Amino acid sequence: MKLDVRIHGRGGQGVVTAAELLSVAAFDQGLHAQALPSFGSERTGAPVTASCRISDRPIRSHDPVSHPDLVMVQDLTLLRDPAVLAGLPDDGTVLVNTRRDLADLARGGLVMGPAQHWVTVPANDLSRELLGRPLPNTALIGAVVGITGLLEPEAVAGSIRRRFAGLGEHVADANVRLAELAYDLVATQTRGSGTHA
Amino acid sequence: MRRQLEGSLAVADTVARCRPRVVAAYPISPQTHIVEALSELVASGGLAPCEYLTVESEFGALSACIGASAAGARTYTATASQGLLFMAEALPNASGLGLPMVMTVANRALGAPINIWNDHSDALSQRDAGWLMLFASSNQEAVDLHVQAFALSERTSLPVMVCMDGFVLTHAVEEVDVPEQEQVDAFLPDFHPRQSLDPDHPVTIGAMVGPEAFTEVKYLMAHRQLRALDEVSAVAQEFESAFGRTSGGLLQPYRTDGAELVVVALGSVLGSLADVVDELRDEGLAVGALGICCYRPWPFDEVRDALRGVTDVVVVNRAVAVGSGSILGQDVRLSAPRGTAVHDVVLGLGGRPVTRDVLRRLVLDVVTGRVGSDSLTFFDLDHDRAAAELARELADTVPANGGGS
């Protein structure tokens, strides 16, 4: 069993934090995990990538994920860069932060592989509602939990709580809630779409 | 205790448990998180007694460490890239004076052009500075090597550099068993310097030595460095007995038994390399990997023994010796048994990822004769881009239109 995730976003969206939170949740439930940032010269808004590997076996490699099972896209505009979907297998999963639905994205010219599993979550909207700011990473983590069924929601809530403990209980609570909301949304979408999860 | 945490924080916690009395450091990416965490530990009383010296430069950091070590304090610093070069003047003083200390190098490329990402050009540029140099292949090993490094440094009275790949390890969040304080205390005795500066018992450390004895002093230094090979092995074995896991040592062979082709490498690439070796072994290729954990002193005999019977050796060089060739490759050539083909390959410079795909292609290209053994190969080079630039330079040197512009 393994899940290789690659996260694409922009500086300030919590790309590196998302990879870390997933890896900590996986570790907490007894799996092996690794979060690897690929740092550039950090600037708010610049494209940022991070990798997360989860496995039931010890992880030896430290290279960035080049054949992801799941790609998380925190900013829709990044999909213009072919590197974002590089190495994704024909039956890979793409999770996109957008309020638009898949039909709308397809009309806009987005090409989705016929066997690929695309999921959209309005993570910015959810975050604006609960945090007052568009910080999509915790909602998207909740969506990963819903899509893959690999991580326990409690483990993810725990990793989010610990990570944001320093910012006050209300911030931690709101982030846990964001993960739960996205988890529920994805469960609905997955049932509705009839594609595999 | 096993924890899921960033490599830098795991190293900082471990260094703190080794109880250094003086930490002097200047921040530089990708080393910064290590020294930030240590400064917080000192400020909060989590590491005490310890003096954290905020210095004006890396030269100041190492000079302060030299003074602190000469005064008998367990001493630590960390740096990377040009920060290590800024220490270069003082590096051979620390080793030449026989002063124990431990330094983390969060390996990063040397500029210009400026580049903050990982390769080994910083540490390898200082290979002759007289320091013992250990390379970590994972964050667990980085942590374990720091505990071993203090023991090794104090037993040999020589400074030790622990090299860990910048960003690739320092910023990776992975599972690490950070040694408990009691475990470290049991493994690492109090520091008793061979000699120390004490106003009540004056000694001179660092007197001038003229032509009548300088050669002999250097001979003894060379001798002591090589003798440290035994200590590196001994400390690794004692560590294994005490902590129940294998870390460090001179070499880390992986499936080299019966291997016809062996890939030699330093640092974090070894994990991906092991995965690729497994894959290729399953496909029927007799390949193995040889990790060099102790780069200085160079384990000449051990490398030779490990490569005996191997037809092709591939050296992964993550640094270039401009104007000459490779650095690690030169060491391997010295050790390779006669008749072994050494394929000297440069890749993974300035943060270009050395992925499993790249390593697999490298091995297969060597097997199919596409990578020679008579010259240096830049393996992951964009040939078109390089050729275009060379063509442009060539065009610039040939006067066009009779030299008019």
pLDDT per residue as tens digits for the range A58-82: 999 999 999 999 999 999 999 999 9
Q: How far apart (Å, rounded) are the C-alpha atoms in residues A106 and A113?
A: 11
- Cβ-based contacts of A35 with chain B (< 8 Å): 172-174
For residue B398, the model assigns a pLDDT of 64
Which of B119, B174, B355 would you mutate first to test chain A, the one with the most A CBs within 10 A? B174
Residue in B4, B30, B275 closest to A61 by CB? B275
Q: Within its chain, how far is the Cα of B49 from the centroid?
A: 29
**B391 in a domain, yes or no?**
no
Residues B141 and B277 in one domain: no
Q: Minimal CA–CA distance to B266: which of B164, B349, B130?
A: B164
- Cβ-based contacts of A19 with chain B (< 8 Å): 173
Quick one: pLDDT band at residue B400, thresholds 50, 70, 90? low
Q: How far apart (Å, rounded) are the C-alpha atoms in residues B289 and B280?
A: 12
Give residue-wise pLDDT tens across range B247-303.
Answer: 999 999 999 999 999 999 999 999 999 999 999 999 999 999 999 999 999 999 999
User: Minimal Cα distance from A17: which residue of B?
Assistant: B173
Residue in A23, A62, A66 closest to B4 by CB? A23
Quick one: pLDDT band at residue A194, thresholds 50, 70, 90? very low
Which of A5, A62, A151, A160 would you mutate first to test chain B, the one with the most B CBs within 10 A? A62
For residue B397, pLDDT beyond 90: no
Q: Minimal CA–CA distance to A35: which of B144, B315, B147, B173?
A: B173
Question: B358 is in which domain, residue-wise?
Answer: 251-385
**B399 in a domain, yes or no?**
no
For residue B396, the model assigns a pLDDT of 77
Task: Please report the beta strands in B234-293, taking only residues with DSSP state E, as ranges in sequence order.
Answer: 251-254, 261-265, 287-292
Long-range contacts of B235-239 (CB under 8 A, 24+ apart): B235/B148, B235/B151, B235/B152, B235/B155, B236/B148, B238/B151, B238/B187, B239/B144, B239/B147, B239/B148, B239/B187
Residue in B171, B275, B355 closest to A66 by CB? B355
Residue in A27, A60, A63 closest to B4 by CB? A27
Residue in A28, A32, A35 closest to B173 by CB? A35
In this prediction, residues B341-366 reach a mean pLDDT of 97
DSSP H helices in A98-196: 102-107, 123-131, 137-148, 153-164, 169-193
Q: Minimal CA–CA distance to B193: which of B75, B59, B296, B24?
A: B75
Residues B233 and B339 in one domain: no
Q: How far apart (Å, rounded) are the C-alpha atoms in residues B177 and B164?
A: 17
- Cβ-based contacts of A20 with chain B (< 8 Å): 6, 173
Q: Are strands A117-121 and B159-165 parallel, antiparallel or unpaired?
A: unpaired
Contact call for A64 and B355, based on CB within 8 A: yes
Q: Within its chain, how far is the Cα of B391 from the centroid?
A: 37
Phi and psi dihedrals of B3, rounded to 5?
A: -140, 155
For residue B113, pLDDT beyond 60: yes
Residues B96 and B239 in one domain: yes
Our count of domains for chain B comes to 2
Residues B257 and B157 in one domain: no
**B99 in a domain, yes or no?**
yes
Residues B147 and B262 in one domain: no
In this prediction, residues A18-22 reach a mean pLDDT of 97
CA atoms within 13 A on the CB side of A88: 25
Q: Shortest Cα distance from B172 to chain A (angstroms)?
A: 5
| A12-26, A30-44, B88-102: range with lowest mean pLDDT | A30-44
DSSP B298-361: --HHHHHHHTTT-SEEEEEESS-BTTTB-SHHHHHHHHSPTT-EEEEEE--GGG----HHHHHH
Cβ neighbourhood burial of A35 (10 Å; 0-12, 13-18, 19+): buried
Our count of domains for chain A comes to 1
Phi and psi dihedrals of B222, rounded to 5?
A: -60, -40
Question: A17 is in which domain, residue-wise?
Answer: 2-193
Contact call for A36 and B354, based on CB within 8 A: no
For residue B263, the model assigns a pLDDT of 98
CB atoms within 10 A of CB A83: 11
**B396 in a domain, yes or no?**
no
Residues B292 and B144 in one domain: no
Give residue-wise pLDDT tens across range A78-134.
Answer: 999 999 999 999 999 999 999 999 999 999 999 999 999 999 999 999 999 999 999
- Cβ-based contacts of B255 with chain A (< 8 Å): none
In this prediction, residues B44-72 reach a mean pLDDT of 98
Type of residue numbered B101? M
For residue A190, the model assigns a pLDDT of 62
Contact call for B173 and A28, based on CB within 8 A: no
Q: Which residue has the tokens 């989590």?
A: B46
List all residues 6 or more positions away from B80 whose beta carbon is below 8 Å from its beta carbon.
B28, B29, B30, B31, B105, B106, B107, B108, B122, B166
For residue A142, list its beta bridge partners: none
Residues B238 and B316 in one domain: no
For residue B374, the model assigns a pLDDT of 85
Contact call for residues A68 and A83 (beta carbons, < 8 A): no
The token pair at B220 is: 């003894």
CATH code for position A131: 3.40.920.10
Q: Shortest Cα distance from A117 to chain B (angstroms)?
A: 25
User: What ipTM does this complex have?
Assistant: 0.93
CATH code for position B223: 3.40.50.970
- Cβ-based contacts of A53 with chain B (< 8 Å): none
Q: Minimal CA–CA distance to B233: which of B146, B152, B305, B301?
A: B152
> Between A140 and A190, where is the model more confident?
A140
DSSP A17-29: HHHHHHHHHHHHT
For residue B110, pLDDT beyond 60: yes
Q: Shortest Cα distance from B273 to chain A (angstroms)?
A: 8
Which of B175, B245, B273 would you mutate first to test chain A, the one with the most A CBs within 10 A? B175
Contact call for residues B358 and B316 (beta carbons, < 8 A): no
Q: How far apart (Å, rounded) are the C-alpha atoms in residues B152 and B233?
A: 10
Q: How far apart (Å, rounded) are the C-alpha atoms in residues B390 and B397?
A: 11
Quick one: pLDDT band at residue A188, thresholds 50, 70, 90? confident
Residues B138 and B267 in one domain: no
User: Minimal Cα distance from B267: which residue of A?
Assistant: A62
Residue in B6, B30, B271 closest to A61 by CB? B271
Quick one: pLDDT band at residue B184, thresholds 50, 70, 90? very high
> Between B365 and B1, where is the model more confident?
B365
User: Minimal Cα distance from B354: which residue of A?
Assistant: A63
Q: Are strands B2-6 and B173-177 parallel, antiparallel or unpaired?
A: antiparallel
For residue A138, the model assigns a pLDDT of 97
For residue B337, pLDDT beyond 90: yes
How much helix, strand and coil, in percent to the nearest 5, is found in chain B? 40, 20, 40
Q: Minimal CA–CA distance to B288: which of B260, B248, B249, B326?
A: B260
Residues B66 and B108 in one domain: yes
Helix (H) or strand (E) segment spanning residue A72:
strand A70-73
Task: Say what the alpha-carbon torsion angle A173, A176, A182, A187 is, to the nearest 10 degrees.
Answer: -120
Which of A17, A34, A49, A61 would you mutate first to test chain B, the one with the most B CBs within 10 A? A61
Q: Shortest Cα distance from A73 to chain B (angstroms)?
A: 21
For residue A43, the model assigns a pLDDT of 80
Residues B67 and B154 in one domain: yes
CATH code for position B321: 3.40.50.920
Contact call for residues B289 and B281 (beta carbons, < 8 A): no
Boundary-marking domain end, from B243, B259, B283 = B243
For residue B332, pLDDT beyond 50: yes
Q: Is A166 on the interface with B (CB under 8 A)?
A: no
**How many helices (H) does chain B have, and how many strands (E)?**
14, 15
- Cβ-based contacts of B116 with chain A (< 8 Å): 39, 41
For residue A40, pLDDT beyond 80: no
Cβ neighbourhood burial of B208 (10 Å; 0-12, 13-18, 19+): exposed
Q: What angle do CA A62, A67, A68 make, to 5 degrees?
A: 90
Q: What is the pTM of this model?
A: 0.95
Give residue-wise pLDDT tens across range B158-172.
Answer: 999 999 999 999 999
**B199 in a domain, yes or no?**
no
For residue B399, pLDDT beyond 70: no
Q: Is A24 on the interface with B (CB under 8 A)?
A: yes
Q: Is A34 on the interface with B (CB under 8 A)?
A: yes
The token pair at B326 is: 């490779």
Q: How far apart (Å, rounded) are the C-alpha atoms in residues B36 and B78?
A: 11
Q: Is A37 on the interface with B (CB under 8 A)?
A: yes
User: Minimal Cα distance from B357: which residue of A?
Assistant: A66
Contact call for B175 and A27, based on CB within 8 A: yes
In A104-123, the residues whose Cβ lies within 8 Å of chain B are none
Which of B1, B4, B254 would you mutate first to test chain A, the one with the most A CBs within 10 A? B4
User: Minimal Cα distance from A159: which residue of B?
Assistant: B4
Q: Is A61 on the interface with B (CB under 8 A)?
A: yes
Core vs surface per residue B159-192: b (16+ CB within 10 A) or e: bbbbbbbbbbbbbbbbbbbbbeeeebeebbeebe
For residue A81, the model assigns a pLDDT of 93
Long-range contacts of A154-163 (CB under 8 A, 24+ apart): A155/A25, A155/A26, A155/A28, A155/A29, A156/A21, A156/A22, A156/A25, A158/A25, A158/A28, A159/A21, A159/A22, A159/A24, A159/A25, A159/A28, A160/A21, A162/A24, A163/A17, A163/A20, A163/A21, A163/A24
Residues B226 and B261 in one domain: no
In this prediction, residues B316-344 reach a mean pLDDT of 96
**A&B contacts, CB < 8 Å:** 69
For residue A41, the model assigns a pLDDT of 64
Q: Shortest Cα distance from A27 to chain B (angstroms)?
A: 7
Task: For chain B, give the mean pLDDT.
Answer: 96
Q: How far apart (Å, rounded) are the C-alpha atoms in residues A191 and A185?
A: 10
| A43-52, A120-129, B1-10, B29-38: range with lowest mean pLDDT | A43-52
Residues B238 and B275 in one domain: no
Q: Within its chain, how far is the Cα of B39 from the centroid?
A: 24
Q: Is A59 on the interface with B (CB under 8 A)?
A: yes
Length of chain B: 405
**B62 in a domain, yes or no?**
yes
Give residue-wise pLDDT tens across range A160-174.
Answer: 999 999 999 999 999
